[in-house]
Chain A
Amino acid sequence: MNSIARAAAPPAGVRRLPLGQRLLPYLLSLPALLVCIGILVPFVTAVAYSLQRYRLSQPWAREWNWGENYLNFLTDASFWQTLEVSLVYAGLTVLIELLLGLGIALLLQRRSRINNLISILLLMPLMTAPALAALMWKLMTNVNFGVLSWLAALIGFEDFRWASSTTSALFTVVLVDVWVYTPFIMILLLAGLRSLPRQPFEAAELDGVPRWFVFRHITLPMLTPYIITAVLFRLLDSIQQFDIVYAMTQGGPGDTLTVFQVEAYLDFFQSTNVGRSAALLMILWLITYVLSTLFIKHWLKLRRRAAGETA
């Protein structure tokens, strides 16, 4: 017996496992493999579509054009508008929601019956489907009979046109997004605040440290992993916004709110331009991938630092 054969043979005294047991690890990992394939098949299909000239209404013209859909974006003003409005929308909503969510969480930090009740009530918008919330706000902002239009008129904005004006459309959809999703950030940060160790705060209180200093140098650094988690979730969701924007404006007026998902949806379902729609979604995927990678790396760094400090 040569050395290779010896290595392959079971060592003397070790019993060869039955086939069923030898296959067990593979069988156990099979569901994960199937899920992985289930995720990858649509993704790879989308990549393939994005590299084709593919319009459902012109099946005879379908061909591989490789990077042409992407290259066309470079000279396509509507793509740059989409990119700009998506980033602005995501940035604005997350910033406002973070500030408001943090503020509310700080106010509700102390455990009491009333604070618990308020925190439950504040979660109500989050339980509303965003598309329904958008329709509700569409009624409230109707310029003829909407209650918010009436209130706006009372404070001097007689002709405020909300989502139907190019100047106020972004403000209106951001407002709806903030109404729906601020409770999400609030509840995450509230959970974070309530789980922070008490000792540093008690020590600071004993030493008479000013509240602003405590917030800036104790609360905020300790809360940062929670903030990063909340911002990451909201940023990824916000940059992929569809329901609120589409239900309220269909991307208009003009091209004011043609965010990625709305543009890709219209490209696919209305224009049946599968190639362009897929290329847009691949760029959106790339943006979300880069953003989430950056955030997760930062979050891991913070965790390592926290572990090092406490070790």
Chain B
Amino acid sequence: MSKERDLVQAFLTGRMSRRSLIKRLGALGIGTAASGSLMALGTTRALAQDFDWKKHQGTGIKLLLNKHPYTDAMIANLEAFKQLTGMEVEYDVFPEDVYFDKVTAALSSGSSEYDAFMTGAYMTWTYGPAGWITDLNEWIQDPEKTAPNYDFEDMLPGLRASTAWDGVPGSELGGEGAKQWCIPWGFEANNLTYNRTMFDKLGAEPPKNMDELVALSARCSNELDGVYGIGVRGSRSWATIHPGFLSAYANFGEKDLNSDGGAMSAAMSTDGSKAFHQQWVKMIQDSGPRDWASYTWYQVGTDLGAGQSAMIYDADILGYFMNGGDNKEAGNLGYAPFAPNPEASAPTPNIWIWSLAMAQASEKKDAAWYFIQWASGIEHALFGAREMDFVNPVRQSVWDDEMFKDRIEKSYPGYVEQFTASAPGSQIYFTPQPLFFDLTTEWAASLQKMVANEVPVDEGLDQLAESIDRQLEEAGLG
């Protein structure tokens, strides 16, 4: 049995892949199912040191999850959690189109059905002040409830800060007294993903600033047959603003709102903002998809994967997923960190963070925290990153893991370098406040009008700022 134990230990310490482990256990006459049990047992032993993971044995919790590769990775490893804790876990998985409606309905009803759930950091700006979710600092800082090897500090600082807020509109994320509304689970930074084959054909290099991006996008549209230059989102939704658009906007030092001692006002009608909007609008008009106004992340990603677009300025993991599977352009994509402002020292990707939060109405909060800390712990993150598509990892230790880095560098050239260059500036650049979704959706609608030439950029931004100021005032925030 010592050989088997050594093999499992080698897997747990990252010296062997899951596939090699199963193969070598097979050679020892141990089947796949038994291998799974051995691995779960090994993980259980490794985690169980110095912490009572069995404290909630027999307790059942229920999760609300979005259909996502992160969810798939968690479900694939869930047996390890059950063995470790002796807890039962039920879950409901919903597609993203309806997921947040389901979360809002479940939380606002005060139902205790779900103990923990997936969320985005922006959503906690609604859920937190509404009293629907719990400040997780109480658990993170309690050594009785959190395993000594959990190492919350291992999570990237920008992510920890971006998921913590004191609830005061306009105050700094992660500032003093901030409540940890959720725990980062996986994240997306917005950078450039480009088609290397197309760039080679043009003899082009990834652009280094906004002017180069606009020029190269136009060149791709003009010189590549049946291809448009740049894929960015355009639907009438807040989700159009948060990826490439806000990442570039922030890189020029522009802001969404002025926050002056509590009173807030729109910051989109400055000269700098107008100049940036002019350039962005022109880029879409000249080199974006023709039906840009209907583009969500899905169309942006699939066009890149199908060879319809030469590059995208969107979530890096969209580029990651399009470089695999049975996508037409699988294996042809490259990644580049992008700082649009020539005077900026580094990229400033605005980020989307899939996180785990705990329902205030849960009657099993301690047990739910056991799940959250396991799912966001190092062991599961390593499992997901090495064996599944649990990217981007939120922990520095996973990015430093040789097995993960080898896998990524082999199949996704430039991905790790892109992360390294942009990680320090990766954070949420929006001002946290409860009208986030109203104001950002209106921003997207204004952008649509500008691209459609329904309103000149200057005028559109002045109207937008006026409307936002009115709404802030009505909500007692202006």
* B365, CB-defined interface residue at 8 Å: no
- A166-B454, A269-B104 given as contacts; is B236 within 8 A of A254 (CB)? yes
A163-B294, A254-B445 in contact; A249/B476 too (CB < 8 A)?
no
Task: Tell me which residues across on chain A come within 8 A of B131, comparing CB atoms.
Answer: 59
Interchain CA distance A272-B476 in the complex, whole Å? 16
Q: Are A143 and B291 in contact (CB under 8 A)?
A: yes
| Cβ-neighbour of A164 out of B108, B126, B293, B474 (below 8 A) | B293
Instruction: Name the residue of chain A whose CB is nearest to the CB of B449.
Output: A254
B473 an interface residue at 8 Å Cβ cutoff?
no
Query: Is B437 touching A270 in the complex (CB atoms < 8 A)?
Result: yes
A249 and B236 form a contact (CB under 8 A): yes
> How many angstroms from the CA of A164 to the CA of B235 in the assembled complex?
9
Please determine whether B235 and A250 come into contact, CB atoms closer than 8 angstroms. yes
Q: Across the interface, which residues of B come within 8 angstroms of A163, CB to CB?
A: 291, 293-294
Which A residues lie within 8 Å of B104 (CB)? 56, 269, 272
Asked if B452 contacts A253 (CB within 8 A), the reply is yes
A144, B444: Cα distance in complex, Å: 23
B: interface residue count bin: 35 or more
User: Whose C-beta in chain A lies nearest to the C-beta of B435?
Assistant: A271
B171 within 8 A of A: no
Measured in the bound complex, the distance between the Cα atoms of B105 and A56 in whole Å is 11
Instruction: Assess whether B452 is in contact with A254, with CB atoms less than 8 Å apart.
Output: yes
Quick one: CB contact mask for A262-277 with B, threshold 8 Å, 1 for yes? 0000100111110000
The closest CB in chain A to the CB of B237 belongs to A250
Residue A119, interface by CB 8 Å? no
Asked if B238 lies at the interface with its beta carbon under 8 angstroms from chain A, I say: yes
Q: How far is the CA of A255 from the CA of B449 in the complex (A)?
A: 8
User: Contact at B293–A59, with CB atoms within 8 Å?
Assistant: no
Of the candidates B125, B129, B303, the one having the most CB atoms from chain A within 10 angstroms of its own CB is B129
Asked if A164 and B291 make an inter-chain contact with CB atoms under 8 angstroms apart, the answer reads: yes
Contact B448 A252 (CB under 8 A): yes
Interface SS of chain B: helix
- Asked if B271 is at the interface (CB within 8 A of a chain A CB), the reply is no
Chain B neighbourhood of A58, CB < 8 A: 129-130, 434, 475-476
Instruction: Provide the bound-state CA to CA distance between A53 and B115, in Å.
Output: 30
Contact for B441 among A143, A165, A266, CB less than 8 A: A266
Any B CB within 8 A of the CB of A159: yes
**Which chain A residues border B126 with CB–CB below 8 Å?**
56-57, 272
- Contact, CB under 8 Å: B293 / A251: no
Partner of B294, one of A59, A138, A255: A138
Q: Determine whether the beta carbon of B438 is less than 8 Å from that of A271.
A: yes
Tell yes or no: A142 within 8 A of B by CB. Answer: yes
State whether A55 touches B434 (Cβ < 8 A).
Answer: yes
Q: Which residue of B lies closest to A165 (CB)?
A: B452
User: Which of B108, B290, B448, B475 is most buried by chain A, counting CB atoms within 10 A of its CB?
Assistant: B290
| Contact among A72, A144, A248 with B290 in the assembled complex (CB-CB below 8 Å) | A144
- A161 CA / B293 CA spacing, docked (Å): 10
| Contact yes or no, B308 A144, CB < 8 A | yes
User: Which residues B412-457 have CB closer than 8 A to chain A?
Assistant: 434-435, 437-438, 441, 444-446, 448-449, 452, 454
How many angstroms between the C-alpha atoms of A162 and B293 in the bound complex?
10
How distant is B320 from chain A, measured CB to nearest CB, in Å?
Answer: 23
Contact of B130 among A59, A166, A252 (CB under 8 A): A59
Does B138 sit at the interface, judged by CB under 8 A? no
Does B289 belong to the interface (CB within 8 Å)?
yes
A37: chain B residues within 8 A (beta carbon)? none
**Contact, CB under 8 Å: B449 / A164:** no
Complex interface: chain B residues within 8 A of A252 (CB): 235-236, 293-294, 444-445, 448
Is B236 in contact with A161, judged by CB distance below 8 angstroms? no
Given A55-B434, A56-B126, A253-B293, CB of A166 within 8 Å of CB of B452: yes
Complex alpha-carbon distance, A59 and B475, angstroms: 12
For A124-166 the 0/1 string (1 means CB < 8 A from B) is 0000000000000010001110000000000000010111111
CB-CB contacts of B305-331 with A at 8 A, as 1s and 0s? Answer: 000100000000000000000000000
B312 shortest CB reach to chain A, Å? 15
**Residue of A61, A252, A255 with most partner-chain B CB within 10 A:** A252
- Complex Cα spacing A273 to B290, Å: 33
Residue of B nearest to A169 (CB): B293
Smallest beta-carbon distance A275→chain B, Å: 11
Interface residues of B (CB under 8 A from A): 100-101, 104, 108, 125-126, 129-131, 234-238, 289-294, 303, 308, 434-435, 437-438, 441, 444-446, 448-449, 452, 454, 474-476
Selected A-B contacts with CB under 8 Å, 11 pairs? A59-B131, A163-B294, A166-B449, A249-B236, A249-B293, A252-B236, A252-B445, A253-B445, A253-B448, A269-B100, A270-B437
Question: Which residues of chain A have a CB within 8 Å of any CB of chain B?
Answer: 55-61, 72, 138, 142-144, 159, 161-166, 248-255, 266, 269-273
